[in-house]
């Protein structure tokens, strides 16, 4: 489903399967990137959604993972194989991805086993910058929900888009969630003043006021 020119939601309930968190596809010229990968349970459907959305000749330059959780990341090995796309994740979640840790990645919650996910590019420290066509994509370390949670920020059609994914949490000891870090990360997300928040399970929140209200709701609950 198209959100804006050059931005689609390609995975999640209604797009692929109930178990998948949302995955977003960005495209600029003949370059594209995916934000998150779903579970892999509806891999063929996801591949079709990506291929249908992209203009002919466009190819994926990056698969950006927001964090190590099963519903966001378990589909990454299949996508990386079929599209020849490198997987990007923060160094603090990369170990759980590469070892296929079913507890920390929440796969056990789903009664599933986490496949090992090779991380080709580790984001180190607080931020990193990527180019996809004419888009500049900023990765910001945003720990709390998991140790290596990352948000991605870009500008599209004059709007600031925040790929926040699991902004809503939850915070769970088995995920190694950190409530203090989570609160600080939400404060930092508020300061971004994004026009559109692409969430992992709560849909697409549009409008600066609505995005701020959404983030403040989870900040107030802490």
Q: Tell me which residue has its CB nearest to Zn ion.
A: 69
Distance CA 183, CA 104 (A): 20
Torsions phi, psi of 142, nearest 5? -140, 65
Return d(Cα 92, Cα 214) in angstroms, integer. 26
Window of 5-13, 67-75, 128-136, 154-162 that interacts with Zn ion by CB under 5 A:
67-75
Residue 95: how many other CB atoms lie within 10 Å: 16
In the shown chain, the binding pattern of residues 86 to 115 toward Zn ion, with x for contact by CB under 5 A and - for none, equals: ------------------------------
Rounded CA separation 61/219 (Å):
34
Measured from the CB atom, the residue of 21 and 35 that comes closer to Zn ion is 21
200 lines the binding site for Zn ion (CB under 5 A): yes
CA distance 177 to 156: 31
Distance CA 65, CA 11 (A): 14
Under rule CB under 5 A, which residues in 147-176 are in contact with Zn ion? 166
Binding mask 5-34 for Zn ion (x = CB under 5 A): ----------------x-------------
C-beta closer to Zn ion: residue 21 or 88: 21
Chain positions contacting Zn ion, by CB under 5 A? 21, 69, 71, 166, 200
């Amino acid at each position: 489903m198209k959100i804006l020119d050059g931005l689609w939601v390609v995975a999640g309930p209604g797009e692929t399967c109930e178990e998948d968190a949302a995955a977003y596809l960005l495209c600029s010229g003949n370059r594209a990137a995916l934000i998150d990968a779903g579970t892999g349970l509806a891999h063929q459907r996801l591949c079709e959604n990506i291929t249908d959305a992209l203009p002919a000749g466009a190819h994926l330059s990056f698969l950006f993972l927001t964090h190590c959780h099963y519903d966001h990341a378990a589909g990454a090995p299949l996508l990386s194989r079929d599209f020849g796309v490198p997987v990007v994740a923060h160094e603090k979640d990369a170990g759980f991805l590469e070892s296929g840790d079913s507890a920390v990645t929440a796969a056990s919650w789903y009664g599933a086993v986490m496949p090992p996910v090779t991380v080709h590019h580790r984001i180190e420290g607080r931020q990193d910058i990527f180019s996809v066509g004419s888009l500049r994509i900023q990765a910001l370390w945003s720990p709390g929900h998991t140790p290596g949670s990352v948000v991605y920020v870009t500008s599209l059609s004059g709007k600031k888009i925040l790929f926040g994914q699991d902004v809503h949490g939850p915070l769970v000891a088995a995920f190694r969630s950190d409530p203090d870090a989570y609160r600080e990360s939400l404060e930092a997300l508020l300061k971004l003043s994004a026009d559109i928040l692409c969430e992992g399970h709560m849909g697409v929140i549009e409008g600066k006021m609505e995005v701020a209200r959404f983030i403040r709701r989870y900040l107030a609950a802490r």
